[in-house]
Structure 1
């Protein structure tokens, strides 16, 4: 089989990654124990081989071009996998190491994932975790994410989907709103109330509320003068302020319900939930840091799986 890379090319790729990370040929040279001229020659060889300019150079700094950034992300991942494969074969890697990049919806990040991270890094201190709080769907290849958490199964069959938990839904309102407008005692009564709406980021459509009616899960359309988009925490803030009634995840409002800031409504129609799914690309060699994080989340959040179904 023909070799596409020789030792010099692999060394040039390593120097390129160091220069990209340190933002300087001189800093990369110092880190690698070579001269700045050697780094410059290595980068020039790469650019000539690829036919692509990797850096924009000025007298004061260097920065990656758009093509250079794409190349860097792929090279860094490839070098990390080579290092992990070598350590795994030689038995040197006894613990995960490297960087994890994960995309998480805003509320799930604040209330579920972020509180767990200190526990994870206490177990695996050599793993750095980069969390992007966003409700949009991400492109794993283009944006170099290791994994994402979403509230539904992916349409992309190239992704592995692993359910983390079923998050229970609850209907809530502030005492000040209920004092002003009365407390609904039946689902039909919601038509006379201010029901705070949320637009789903992926479709722009308002999310119907979910209830259990005669043992069956049913979507119920509601209306109101308030609509939030982008961040579901907005509807909770409005509810706390006495603006109206909101349906949200119980994990978001547990403290509010405990201290009386919010009141649970129509509990006889509760017990519904929606799933949260961990997504990550198929890979022949899944990195140890990714495997460890997947197993950690499954262990920590698996106790909430099952419940009322999805």
Structure 2
């Protein structure tokens, strides 16, 4: 084993200042946060660049931006510093109380109807964790944007991501009683050709999403048509359906209150039961801090309990 020190105090301090500058995208903001001068931050970054022989930032008079090498280095350094903090807490007996920021990206329907309602209970249990919830249907870059977790409606193509399934969310086809009174109630998939079928376009591709049904043991994918299209946010299609624009297929958890109150009616229930998965994503090989592990366990526990409750009411 090489007994020579690889990192002295000055170098470790430089790494901390580099990570601050990367997170805040500013030498000045990093200096204010650390209680040093902007020149000290600049010298620390230059020290690291000279040591490794690579540029970590592209600097202009107005802003700084991580290079590709800088993004990769920042991701690894951030994880290493997080592990050091966790190790210190564990050694001093503070590991039982998670603390610090937690950044999570979620699609709009899952955020509004699944995760956001649970956050007050999570923070009541872990008050020292600050949750930054980013609500969007676009894919995020973990390394560049600094997220701890993401929730998405399908398994990842990226093999560098670990996926943990949260649930299979049931789909249902709905319309208002007024729409069905005006246009008739479909009794078969063929009937859908004669109805206003509200479309949703997948944000990543711009393509219309097919509707999914269950016919016995068979899954049926159906391309529908209509004069309304919602892109980017599936809740746009739900709002159109609630206002009598036509038929729309969405997640049951989004419209379960409407179905209970009678403001929406389930259409073709005999062909229901199809579902789509929601998965929790994080980078492969990343050390999960205590606050992230506690959030993952909390979310899985609460969603499993809710799913069992819904299944039991059927």
Query: Would you call these one fold, judging by a TM-score over 0.5?
Result: yes
Structure 1 residues 222, 239: CA separation in 2 closer, same or farther (over 3 Å shift)?
same
Structure 1 residues 11, 209: CA separation in 2 closer, same or farther (over 3 Å shift)?
same
1:289 to 291, 302, 307: 291
Give the corresponding residue for 2:10: 8
The count of corresponding residues between Structure 1 and Structure 2 is: 298
1:220 to 222, 238, 263: 222
Whether contact under 8 Å (1:171, 1:266) holds in the other structure is yes
User: After the TM superposition, which segments of 4 or more aligned residues of structure 1 sit over 6 Å from their partners?
Assistant: 55-58
How much does 1:4 deviate? 3.6
Distance in 1 (CA, whole Å) between partners of 2:277 and 2:301 is 16
Whether contact under 8 Å (2:75, 2:143) holds in the other structure is no
Deviations 1:230-263 (A, max 9, x none): 1111111111111110010111112222222211
Moved more, 4-13 or 144-153: 4-13
Distance in 2 (CA, whole Å) between partners of 1:272 and 1:25 is 50
1:229 to 223, 228, 231: 231
Give the corresponding residue for 1:50: 49
How much does 1:190 deviate? 1.0
Distance in 2 (CA, whole Å) between partners of 1:157 and 1:53 is 26
How much does 1:122 deviate? 1.0
For residue 298 of structure 1, give the secondary structure of its aligned residue in structure 2. helix
Give the corresponding residue for 1:299: 301
Distance in 2 (CA, whole Å) between partners of 1:25 and 1:274 is 43
Stretches of structure 1 lacking an aligned partner (at least 5 in a row): none
For residue 248 of structure 1, give the secondary structure of its aligned residue in structure 2. strand
For residue 207 of structure 1, give the secondary structure of its aligned residue in structure 2. coil
Whether contact under 8 Å (2:18, 2:44) holds in the other structure is no
Distance in 1 (CA, whole Å) between partners of 2:137 and 2:11 is 40
How much does 1:43 deviate? 3.4
The alignment's C-alpha RMSD in Å is 2.8
Distance in 2 (CA, whole Å) between partners of 1:129 and 1:286 is 15
Structure 1 residues 55, 7: CA separation in 2 closer, same or farther (over 3 Å shift)?
farther
2:32 to 24, 27, 46: 27
Whether contact under 8 Å (1:80, 1:98) holds in the other structure is no
Deviations 1:74-94 (A, max 9, x none): 544432221112222343322
Give the corresponding residue for 1:162: 164
